[in-house]
Amino acid sequence: MMTRPQQILLKRAQREAGLDDADYREDLLTIAGCRSSTDARMTDRHLDKALAYFEAIHWRKADRGELQPSCKPDAVFRQRGFWAAKNTRGNTSRDRFAAGVVAGQIASREASLAELGFGESYCAAIRETVTQGRNDPRALHQYAAALERTLNAKRRKISSGQLVR
């Protein structure tokens, strides 16, 4: 999930690129598969891609005279090609940190399910169903969310007496 300063940076980029809200949300859907920067599926890699995309729009419009490049020292697009060249691979320190957080959540939830009597094969079946063999960051987030839902459902059933350990 993106931090508040990252969300602000993205909104500033939208404004500097001259995008209305509908175009902005459509572009986010294309780039990240979600319509809002507050969506948990929005990763740092999505931020980098969105900034590079908005940068291309900004400079295209500036070259045609539709936009005047910002003269502010803290402008998002003050240097042509900056965002396009930044973090071009998916293995940045931010990506590794985010993947570590998700891996920790998955391990914790799998351990909690094991304590309730649902072992590795049960979790493997959930993983296969949710991720369909994909191992990308979005699939891992979906798997972590599925484990959380399953864990909550099992705990509710145990507390209501419908499921005996």
- Cα dihedral 58/47/6/137 (nearest 10): 180
CA dihedral over 78, 79, 84, 86, signed as positive or negative: negative
Cα(75)–Cα(164) distance, integer angstroms: 60
pTM over 0.75: no
Task: Fill in the amino acid letter for 16.
Answer: E
User: Model confidence at 126, in pLDDT bands (50, 70, 90)?
Assistant: very high
Distance CA 139, CA 130 (A): 7
pLDDT for position 129: 92
Q: What is the pLDDT of residue 164?
A: 64
Query: How does pLDDT run across 7-60, given as a tens digit for each residue?
Result: 999 999 999 999 999 999 999 999 889 999 998 888 888 898 899 999 999 999
Whether the CB-CB separation of 58 and 16 falls below 8 Å is answered with: yes
Q: Kindly report, residue by residue over 88-113, the tens digit of the pLDDT.
A: 665 666 677 778 889 999 999 999 99
Q: Which of 9-18, 126-135, 156-165: highest mean pLDDT?
A: 9-18
Place of tokens 């697009």: 77
Percent of the chain whose pLDDT exceeds 90: 48
Determine the Cα–Cα distance for residues 84 and 77; give it in Å rounded to an integer.
11
Give dist(CA 146, CA 123) in Å, integer: 10
68 to each of 18, 25, 28, 91, how far by Cα in Å? Answer: 10, 23, 24, 34
**Mean pLDDT, residues 69-77 taken together:** 82
pLDDT tens-digit series, residues 32-47: 899 999 988 888 888 9
Residue 50: the pLDDT is: 92
3-state secondary structure of 35: coil
Q: How many residues does the chain have?
A: 165
- Angle at the Cα of 86 (from 24 to 15), degrees rounded to 5? 25
